[in-house]
Amino acid sequence: MIKSERHEKILELITTENISTQSDLTLRLNQSGFNVTQATASRDLQEMRVTKVLLPDGTYKYAPSKDGDISFSDKLEKILNHCLVKVDYANNIVVLKTMSGAAQAVGYALDTFVWDEIVGTICGDDTIMIVVRNEKGAKQLCSRLAKYIQ
């Protein structure tokens, strides 16, 4: 099943049930036919900007972000589509060129996606340096990002 279907299921679960831990969410997702690990559930919660809210009984539960925007990753992809100009790598470092003034927005989008191969990003005005775990990861990241160049 694809990520968007999983995100829809997460939204359904946290809206209709009192799910308070990543373990509970992982269990419910697996019971619903989504074969996920707790790490995947954690990344999904972060990407979806899910928060915890205090219930009247003093316990907490997951809840959708206040703006209700489940298409947050779609907006970040639009940032990449509109701003990314060039992608290249050397060893384990990926360098991105963006439109002038857009590097911070693109860097934020990349940091929000929580891709495992990315160790960190440094952003200037129109250039981003991304440290990746290894050269293979750098090459894969370049391929992944190249699809956003118009």
Q: How far apart are CA 113 and CA 122, in angstroms?
A: 15
Mean pLDDT over residues 119-133, rounded? 94
pLDDT for 115 equals 74
| Structure tokens that stand for 44 in this block | 């999904």
pLDDT value at position 70?
44
- The domains located in the chain, with CATH, are 3-63 (1.10.10.10), 76-146 (3.30.1360.40)
- Which H or E run contains 44? helix 38-48
* Contact between 27 and 19 (Cβ < 8 Å): no
Residues forming beta bridges with residue 93, ordered by sequence position: 90, 131
CA 19, CA 22: separation in Å to the nearest integer? 8
User: What is the helix (H) or strand (E) element at residue 36, kind and residue range?
Assistant: none
Please write the tens of the pLDDT for every residue from 29-81. Answer: 999 999 999 989 988 888 888 888 888 888 888 888 765 444 556 777 788 88
